[in-house]
Amino acid sequence: MSLAQAVDVHANDRGLLSCLQAASVHENVIKYLQDTIKIVTLEDFIHVVSQADYEKELAEIVAQTSFATKVADQLVPDKLQVARLRAAYRAGVEALKIADQPASNEPDMPVAPQAVAELEREWRTVYGTHLVFDVHLTPADALLARYHREFRRKSATCIPLGKMKSTLADKKPKDDRVISLGAEVRIQLDQKDDVVISSVIDAYFALRVNSNAWAYAGNFMTESAVESGKKVRFFSFQEALDYADFAMRMTMQYGAGSRTWMIERDHLTRGKVATLMRRGFPGTEALKQALMETYLDWRTPNSRVSSPPKSSQPSESSGQRRGTRRGRSRSPKVPNRELPEEERAKIQTVSTLPGGIKLCKAFNDKRGCNNKRCEDAHRCDIRMPNGKGCGGQHPRARHNFEKDRKA
């Protein structure tokens, strides 16, 4: 690995310390650069010398430190420290060039080793050595790297719960599907390795992994967006952990333990958190504001459980009574758009929607779902031409296939 890959350009100092340490520059030289020359960022270090004569000027800097000997009234710098400082300069220039080049898969790339070491030091400094995550709750490298970059760039996104992978889940061997075409020709298909959220417990532990990633990547001080001139921690561990417990508590109290109810409100809340962080709010303050804005959403009872079950075939007398008392008849049924028998066998369906939302198959077929405590989403499971599920508020038989053909 080159030195440039070890430079964390997303750190507060733009990678200055990680660049110098990766090149094994002595701490006395680093202290001279920061305390005497007042270098704060990696850009300062690169531009404090001229590009044409940087080797000579860096040697003069080393000559002003303790790594120099006086020969004939001249200070001769230590050759080893000069070589290391020059290597750090070249690595810093390359790292800044790489940072300016956009990459589609860059948010999920692992964090540089120097940045990981810095995160670990900061965590031990703030929370001590006793607060250690279990392997089932330790965020995966890709998740931690994504939050690490997003928090410092103020470009947060709302990651689905199915992407909240722990280190253990991330390191499991993948069962790739291989299709043999003969003559030693094979096609290897990528298999989705998202976390399956099949219960409210799975959703809770996914939120725990997310909370740990929030706290670990957000363990740095920044300006408050609420109180001017005040420094706050971007994401405190206690605030992040409280959110996972809050979501579980509200789900059991108001959502009747429904996985779908919990996922929908969590997605709404974390979406608002991401929006506020893009506006400059630190994570902790963004979370508090988002919970205030979703106060009623988290306390709205699950209508699928709280409302009385409706009879699929009401009696004639009850229908007459409703018509007499309310002065109107029942609303007409939605027209059936089901395909003919010969075409029905060709349709494709999906089992889940984006975000790990599991669909109820009984609701979609002729059985009908009569389970008052059903945790699966009552939405259409037809696979659309773009490969995604319909997700409409209707069963499979009410899907508008004519609209799909026109699209």
In terms of domains, do 245 and 381 share one? no
Residue 331 belongs to a domain: no
Model confidence pLDDT, tens digit, residues 89-146: 888 888 887 766 554 455 566 666 767 777 888 888 899 888 888 888 999 888 888 8
Residue 309 belongs to a domain: no
- Indicate the residue among 246, 274, 298 that finishes a domain: 298
Tell me the C-alpha to C-alpha distance, in Å, between residue 335 and each of 280, 352, 369, 378, 398: 49, 26, 20, 19, 7
Residue 304 belongs to a domain: no
DSSP of 64-80: TSSSEEEETTEEEE-HH
In terms of domains, do 89 and 196 share one? no
Res 395 pLDDT > 70: yes
pTM recorded for the entire structure: 0.56
In terms of domains, do 31 and 158 share one? no
Selection from 235, 231, 200 nearest residue 217 by Cα: 235
Residue 346 belongs to a domain: yes
- Indicate the residue among 74, 101, 128 that finishes a domain: 101
Rounded to whole angstroms, how far apart are CA atoms 356 and 310? Answer: 28
In terms of domains, do 232 and 355 share one? no
Mean pLDDT value across residues 303-309: 53
Residue partners of 364: CB distance under 8 A and separation at least 6: 349, 380, 381, 395, 396, 397
Residue partners of 322: CB distance under 8 A and separation at least 6: 330
In terms of domains, do 187 and 245 share one? yes
Residue 310 belongs to a domain: no
| pLDDT more than 90, % of the chain | 22
In terms of domains, do 163 and 222 share one? yes
In terms of domains, do 252 and 148 share one? yes
Residue 28 belongs to a domain: yes
From first CA to last CA, the distance across the chain in angstroms is 49
In terms of domains, do 141 and 250 share one? yes
Structure tokens at 188: 């290897």
Model confidence pLDDT, tens digit, residues 26-64: 888 888 888 888 888 888 888 888 888 888 888 888 887
Of the CA atoms within 13 Å of residue 40, those in its CB half-sphere come to 1
Selection from 266, 355, 256, 265 nearest residue 301 by Cα: 256
Model confidence pLDDT, tens digit, residues 332-378: 444 444 555 555 556 788 888 887 788 888 888 877 888 888 888 88
In terms of domains, do 281 and 143 share one? yes
The answer to whether 151 touches 283, Cβ cutoff 8 Å, is yes
The answer to whether 62 touches 81, Cβ cutoff 8 Å, is yes
Residue 91 belongs to a domain: yes
Residue 124 belongs to a domain: yes
| H or E element that contains 268 | helix 259-278
Selection from 118, 105, 104 nearest residue 10 by Cα: 118
Helix residue spans in 108-258 (DSSP H):
113-127, 141-153, 167-170, 200-217, 237-253
What's the domain count of the chain? 3
Which residue range is the domain that position 69 belongs to?
3-101
The conformation of residue 33, written as its DSSP 8-state character, comes to I
In terms of domains, do 71 and 123 share one? no
Model confidence pLDDT, tens digit, residues 235-277: 999 999 999 999 999 999 999 999 999 999 999 999 999 999 9
Q: Is 23 helix (H, G, I), strand (E, B) or coil?
A: coil
In terms of domains, do 283 and 387 share one? no
Rounded to whole angstroms, how far apart are CA atoms 360 and 218? Answer: 38
Res 316 pLDDT > 50: no
- Indicate the residue among 269, 298, 327 that finishes a domain: 298
In terms of domains, do 157 and 34 share one? no
